Amino acid sequence: MPKFWVSLALLLSLVPPLWGEALDLTFSKGSLENTLFEDVRYQKLGRLSLEQAALIASGVSQRELPLYHQKIDALYNRIALSLPFKKLPLLDRAEFILVFLHQTVFKKYDASATEIQKTLDQGLFNCVSATLLFNILCERFHIKTVGLEIPTHLDAAVLDPGRPRKFFEVQTTIPLGFWVKDSTVNEFVYDSKVQTWKGKRPVEGSRLIAVIYYNRGMDWIRQNRMEEALPFYLKAYELDPHFPDLERIIAALYVEWGNQYFKNTDYKRAVEIYSEGIEFLKDRRKTWPILERNRSAALLNQERMRQCLEKI
């Protein structure tokens, strides 16, 4: 099974034994992103389609946006003009779309290829970009889909139009993704109140877009760049506050980011970062004791350094 997300255990292993105001996300949002975040209400994407929201979250600029819409337009037109496609029932059309993508777009699996533009430009894909592009094209053909999320993978699920609220699980990273399991195993009833199904979490709208930000933050974590990673996880949290373990991951990022300054004896900056994390988490279940402990240690060291300097 492709593993594109960092496990919580791996992320927390980054935290060493020693363990103000809430972060304002507007500094790291462009005008396109502001449109996305302003419109999100109750998992809905407001004025934006899934296609628009996914391209924006992938980092496509205002200038580039028409280009990638045109690329998706071209895929849509090729499918729509296909004679076999026109004769198929709705569920079979969804399977046709998946096979078409694997024959014409998806060239090579790459765990870091979350952004849709990488898929459209280079043919690189992972389970997030594959699921999103599949769902985007299904949406254009009025085929209802959702994502199915587990901590290490993302699938799609397609509504069977013949049976209300009956969904069919699809593995989007392979062309035979409709036939990974027996159909009686794949099918499930879904509505917006469903929390999990066989350990998988149905996600749509803003929750599906949150997965893009989650993965983009992972690229920075691999480089040990916690300061750059954090805004992506905060954006994911804003889009989906119920994302599993996301609060813990954000806390771990604040800890590791602060620890980087602590190790360099910049205790003042470390205190600021720990305090920012505490402020962000204070109304979200509970503040992590590790942040409190690290802040206390940084304050103590800061005071000791001040006293030493006074004696010089």
Our measurement of the distance from residue 68's CA atom to the centroid of its chain's CA atoms, rounded to an integer in Å, reads 20
Residues 6+ away with beta carbon under 8 Å from 3 = 111, 152, 153
- Computed over every residue of the chain, the mean pLDDT equals 80
| CA distance readout (Å), 160 to 91, 145, 192 | 6, 10, 16
Cβ atoms of 249 and 11 within 8 Å: the answer is yes
Amino acid letter for position 188: F
Q: How many CA atoms lie within 13 A of 216 on its CB side?
A: 24
Task: Pick out the chain residues at pLDDT < 70.
Answer: 1-30, 41-43, 164-165, 180-198, 284-288, 305-312
Say how far apart CA 241 and CA 283 lie, in whole Å.
12
CATH 3.10.620 intervals, the chain: 40-204
pLDDT of residue 13: 41
**Please, where are the H alpha helices in 163-205?**
183-186
pLDDT at res. 22: 32
| 3-state secondary structure (DSSP) of residue 227 | helix
Segment 241-269, tens digit of pLDDT: 888 888 888 888 888 888 888 888 888 88
Model pLDDT for residues 278-288, shown as the tens digit of each residue: 888 877 656 56
User: pLDDT by residue (tens digit) across 40-82?
Assistant: 765 677 778 999 999 999 999 989 999 999 999 999 999 999 9
The label of the residue with tokens 């027996």 reads 182
Position 284 scores a pLDDT of 65
Q: What is the four-CA torsion angle of 254, 260, 266, 271, rounded to 10 degrees?
A: 20
Whole-angstrom distance, CA of residue 7 vs CA of residue 237: 17
What is the distance, to the nearest Å, from the Cα of residue 81 to the centroid of all Cα atoms in its chain?
A: 33
* Cα angle 23-26-30, degrees, rounded to a multiple of 5: 145
3-state helix, strand, coil in the chain (%, to 5): 55, 10, 35
Residue limits of CATH 1.25.40 in the chain: 226-311
Q: What fold does the segment set 40-204 form as a domain? A: C8orf32 fold (3.10.620)
Residue 45 has a pLDDT of 77
**What pLDDT is attached to residue 294?**
77
Pairing of strands 166-170, 187-189: antiparallel
Confirm if 15 and 290 have CB atoms less than 8 A apart: yes
Interatomic CA distance for residues 231 and 162, integer angstroms: 42
Rounded Cα distance, 145 and 112, in Å? 24
From CA 88, how far away is CA 110, in angstroms rounded? Answer: 32
Please say whether the structural domain 226-311 has been given the CATH code 1.10.540: no
Residues 6+ apart with CB under 8 A from 6: 218, 221
